[in-house]
Structure 1
Amino acid sequence: MSIRPIEPGDLQALEALVESTGVGLTSLPRDRAALAQRIEHSQQSFAQSSASADCAAERLFFFVLEDSTTARIVGTTAIKAGIGLSEPYYSYRLSTVVHASRELGVHKVVPTLYLTNDYTGCAEIGSLYLHSDYRHSGNGRLLSKCRFLFLAEFAARFPSKVVAEMRGVSDERGRSPFWDSLGQHFFSMEFRRADYLTGTRGKTFIAELMPRNPIYVPLLRPEAQAVIGRVHDHTRAALTFLQEEGFHYEGYVDIFDAGPTMEARVEQIRSVRQSERLHVRIGPVVESAPRRLISNTRWGEFRCVLVPAGRIGNELVVDAATGRALGIDSGAPVRVMAPK
């Protein structure tokens, strides 16, 4: 199982994978043209080898998980850099307003949602999806943690803050209580349709029609209030993983389904802090060797695997198959960490 950047030839395999994602993963729309555009965007971003964190354009680094025994694409993950620079990046910030009257003896604290662009310029991790047939053997952690090894190796090319929009609550029919109580009043469409359009066209065209005034939470339906800042049942494991990595919730939620946005400083992410650079020795690996997350250090030819590897001082001992998967020979630098 190997992580690599997506390629134009992966479009058909990506389409097949997306068919099993369900509703709510707007970064992987069921639209061939939109998926092709993401692949092209990723290719262009990797081609900018001198790109820096302050470049005035959004960049996308899209990775796939490939089963080398079948050449099947079974998972996706991505990092965006400079979000909100090409088009606004909207969030609701949950805050409070106090209504008080000393004369009447009233002091009321009212939770309120404010439309913001506070995450403009940050990096964002997302597009994380693993086919159900492969949700075992550490594949999920490989798919998740490879992004942090990439960030650790190329930190100078990314903003210092990373965010992750978590999928909010929706039912088996794709209906969102938050959307039904708020967004639907401004658009004649169901959440499933809005979800598709944001994945193919972005959020700007919808966000521009959302009310700019603060939203008083008590005016929403109780079922909508109850899901603000909550994640979909299928996203709980991903939320726990990010919390373990040091991501935290600061009261920002998605403008459509009210799923929480998690954030962290790059240098504070656990996998970034605990990863280290070693050099490789190709050779036999003892059966008792622990499995380690290992990536090469190549910008446009990034590879990452989760395999048994030994260690002798500052050398990491891997077998020949691992060397081939990473595209490296003895003496080459790698970034490595022992997964939890």
Structure 2
Amino acid sequence: MQVLRPITANDFAALKQIAVESGHGFTSLPVDDNLLQEKIERAERSFAKDINKPQDETYLFVLEDSKTGDVIGTTAIEAAVGMSVPLYHYHQGKTVHHSPTLNVYNTVDILSMCNDYTGCSEICTLFLREQNRKGLTGRFLSRSRFLFMAQHSERFADTIIAEMRGVSDEDGHSPFWQWLQEHFFSIEFPQADHLVGLGDKVFISELMPKYPIYANLLSKKAQAVIGKVHEKTKPALKLLEKEGFEHRGYVDLFDAGPTVEAKLGNIRSVRESQVCPISIGELAHINEQSSDTLAICNQGVNDFRATFTKHAHYNHAKHTLIVSQEVADALKLKQGDAARFFRL
């Protein structure tokens, strides 16, 4: 069984290995011992807080194989981004150059730097180790965050965003960044990417062009990747689009990958999730071939647990979720405790 839980100090080695495996472009997990340790400590403080509105918290989870104890993936939620360190994006817009005298009318795409998502919540740091990318595990890891957010909605903003990894090659070089590097930054994309991962964003405001960029002045390769995702990110984007996330013209400063957004209450998994008491019992009559796979969580914060299983059945008539003893134990639930679930 695979169980999602809050990260702890004991997970440092596993988190570092995931950071190594995640590779270029995964800025939220740089391979830096001090920063990874800080992320774990910040997450532990966030889960321990008693709060009723989003502040500067990070909720970092790990997905654990309960049989082996191995950490096979991670994911996170930032409660309110841009509050301590500015969050920058480019917004895609248009400007018109019109001369009635010359009978000329040209529409030009522009990119304007902004901080429009300040204060929003962000789902981030989604990574599943390659050997475990099968079945419903990836889908669960992505959607499990919404169980936590639905259960503890007071801890999050009304608007939820997700920054999607943009196009780059095997060495981590971005076609979009190459143009910016040539004209403004004079540093390689992996170095800039690493600095952002370390939280050092001062150079952005110091070196980034202050005025809107005319997209048609970029190289053809740079123009072609604006708003496009990395090949390995396409499945994650499709999952979020099914949840109701939309791209509204905001892209990353470095690789021009899209940022997608949704209102918390409109997210499919949040909207469709239910809370009801559990009944621990026999499920021998359940046909696993035809029964639904359910994603289920307890109602805790610091002791939050979530899993997915066919060993559960929702009794509509009694508004009760019947689960096996194994599932109840994994979620730290007792007879009559309440659980939240949705169909995976």
Post-superposition CA distance 1:31-89 (Å, at most 9, x none): 11111111111111112122413x4xx21000010011111111010000111111111
Q: Tell me which residue corresponds to 1:311.
A: 314
The 8 Å contact of residues 179 and 191 in structure 1, kept in 2 or not, is answered as yes
Given that residues 181 and 188 in structure 2 are in contact (C-alpha distance below 8 angstroms), is that contact kept between their aligned partners in structure 1? no
TM-score normalised per structure 2: 0.95
Mapped to 2, the partners of 1:261 and 1:22 lie a distance apart of 20
| Structure 1 residue 43 corresponds to structure 2 residue 9 | no
Residue 196 of structure 1 aligns with an amino acid whose one-letter code is: H
Tell me the distance in 2 between the aligned counterparts of 1:207 and 1:138.
41
Amino acid at match of 2:47: F
Counterpart code for 1:310: H
Question: CA offsets per residue over residues 247-280 of structure 1, 9 Å max, x none?
Answer: 0010000000000000000000000000000111
CA distance in structure 1 between the aligned counterparts of 2:222 and 2:236, rounded to whole angstroms: 22
Cα RMSD after superposing both structures: 1.2
What are the residue-to-residue correspondences of 1:22-33 with 2, within 5 Å?
22-33=23-34
Offset, 1:302: 0.8
Match of 2:230 in 1: 232
TM-aligned CA deviation for residue 169 of structure 1: 0.2
State, as a whole percentage, how many aligned pairs show the same letter.
44
After superposition, residues 284-323 of structure 1 pair within 5 angstroms as 284-286=282-284, 287-288=286-287, 289-308=291-310, 309-312=312-315, 313-323=318-328
Question: Hey, which bits of structure 1, 4+ residues long, moved more than 4 A?
Answer: none
How far does residue 185 in structure 1 lie from its aligned partner after superposition? 2.8
- Aligned residue for 1:182, secondary structure, equals helix
Tell me if structure 2 keeps the 8 A contact 1:183–1:256: no
Q: Is the CA contact (8 Å cut-off) linking 1:49 and 1:299 kept in structure 2? A: no
Question: Mapping of 1:260-279 within 5 angstroms?
Answer: 260-279=258-277
The answer for the alignment partner of 1:79 in structure 2 is: 77
From 323, 335, 341, the counterpart of 1:330:
335
2-side partners of 1:181 and 1:23: how far apart? 19
Match of residue 113, structure 1, among 93, 111, 114: 111
Corresponding residue number in structure 2 for 1:18: 19
Structure 1 runs not aligned, ≥5 long: none
Instruction: Supply the AA of the counterpart residue of 1:49.
Output: D
> Residue 195 of structure 1 corresponds to which residue in structure 2?
193
CA contact (8 A) 2:252 2:259 kept: yes
Count how many residue pairs are aligned between Structure 1 and Structure 2.
Answer: 336
**What SS class does the counterpart of residue 63 from structure 2 fall into?**
strand
Q: Residue 119 of structure 1: CA displacement?
A: 0.2
Is the Cα contact below 8 Å between 1:99 and 1:108 reproduced in 2? yes
Letter in 2 for 1:303: R
- Per the TM alignment, residue 5 of structure 1 is displaced from its structure 2 partner at its CA by 0.5
Equivalent position SS for 1:162:
strand
Aligned to 1:281: 279
Structure 2 unaligned regions, length at least 5? none
2:42 corresponds to which letter in structure 1? H
Deviation at 1:183, TM superposition (A): 3.7
Q: Which deviates more from structure 2 when the two are superposed, residues 311-320 or residues 325-334?
A: 311-320
In structure 2, how many angstroms separate the alpha carbons of the residues matched to 1:121 and 1:50? 16
CA distance in 1, matches of 2:151, 2:232: 30
